[in-house]
Amino acid sequence: MTENELYSAMRQYPAVSSFLHKIADRYDRRGDLKGTLKLGQNLTLHTELDPLLQLFGLALKTTQASSVNIDFNRFFAKASPQQINAWVETLFKVIERTPANTFKNRQLLKTIFDRMQLAYPHYAVVYEQFYQQKAYWLRRMNEESAEAVQEELLRIGQIIDFLHANTIPLGWSELGARFCNDSKALRATELTKLVGNALLILEGNIGSFNQELRKQAFNACHIIDNPTAIKVAVYGPVTYLKKETHISWIEDLWQFNEAAVLTLENLHNLELLPIPETITRVITIENETPFCRLKEEVKDAIIIYTEGYPNEAVLTFYEHLPSHLTYLHWGDTDFDGLLIAGLLDHIHPLDLWRCGLDDINPLKGRLIPLSEQNQGRAQEYLNKHLDFKFTNELLFAITNGWLEQENWG
């Protein structure tokens, strides 16, 4: 296939351009063109399928499900490595792109990561994991520059150093201004995601990356949203002292069967007063509907809504509670739900309530299978955390499925 043939196909059939870009994306991800690639499904005969057949001939296959794939091994069966490289160069020239995954760029990327290992040997595992995502970094180098990639990787090391030493609550704006001279630089940006992933890798959660876990990792380093934006909903006869002033509004609302919502600012320098003897339990609840329902059922407990993974306000209030009470947790029994229970258990040892094995065994007909991804995350976590308190519940979820909290009863 010549350069003129590619140009001609793109001029005559504009839709071809998107398929050529897809092939270029594959090359940038892998650094070669081998195996098969799905180009699309239910393609239009005259404007899409016909021109692709003209370009790729017998290397193009359509499945029974109308999926159109290209077999690169067949397409390049008689081509030498030099001819394949020449074809790739032609492809990128025609679509007016610069290939990211070149030998020169790969060598340069390796040099950058070697420098990171020297600069931050104590974060070697982070940079090793990052380096496995070569296609991502090569694309960043291509779109920005090698210097920009190196600067960002160095900045990640600097931020982690700071976070591990930090002991006071800081907002995202302060962190961004400190390290990027931009208060918005760490507000849900790509850099935030990378730093969060690095923190999780250092905790041993390799591959277990999601927004909630990243948020939890940042919270553990005292990085928070604005103090008035972080809240905890509490139901119970709680009173406290603040600057020698007796404050009873949480208890007042409880008497009206209403929950109180406290901000992190409210919780600063707070001293809880003794809990009434009629209160014997603390129940943490992962989801909102069961929290609202339980307010109507239980009168001998302080009830806390964690809103999924507990934020800084939830943890701060929870830590203030006395240790002599009985602590219970009611939540989903999937991987994340049991991790939430484990996190709270580190502060006050607790038992699962309405979500332990004895509770969910009779409800097998309501269980939801764990996705393959979450099964993998759960098994990997158990392999690295042999002392996880809720191992049996998590193994049950892997094998049988998990119970959604709202589906109890």
Mean pLDDT of 232-241: 96
pLDDT at 1 over 70: no
Asked if 319 and 328 count as a contact pair (C-beta separation under 8 A), the reply is no
Mean pLDDT, rounded, of the chain: 91
DSSP secondary structure of 300-364: SEEEEE--SS--HHHHHHHHHS-TTSEEEEE---SHHHHHHHHHHHHHS--EE-SSSHHHHGGGG
Token pair listed for 82: 């030099």
Per cent of the chain over pLDDT 70 is 99
Give the up-direction half-sphere exposure of residue 296: CA atoms within 13 A in the CB hemisphere.
4
Give the rounded percent of residues in the chain with a pLDDT score beyond 90. Answer: 60
Q: What pLDDT score does 208 carry?
A: 65
**CATH of region 231-407:** 3.40.1360.10
Report whether pLDDT(2) > 80.
Answer: no
Q: Does 225 have pLDDT greater than 80? A: no
Q: What is the pTM of this model?
A: 0.60
What is the predicted pLDDT for the residue at 184? 87
Q: Answer whether residue 46 shows pLDDT above 70.
A: yes
Residue type, 280: T
Domains of the chain by residue range: 3-94, 103-224, 231-407
Mean pLDDT of 372-392: 91
Instruction: Indicate if the pLDDT at residue 5 is higher than 90.
Output: no
Query: Helix, strand or coil for residue 240?
Result: strand
Residue 294's pLDDT band, with cuts at 50, 70 and 90, is very high
> 336 near 398, Cβ under 8 Å?
no
Helix (H, G, I), strand (E, B) or coil at 38: strand
pLDDT confidence of 238, banded at 50, 70, 90? very high
Average pLDDT in the 273-284 region? 95
Name the pLDDT band for 207 (thresholds 50, 70, 90).
low
Instruction: pLDDT band for 19, please (50, 70, 90 cuts).
Output: very high
Whether residue 206 has pLDDT greater than 80 = no
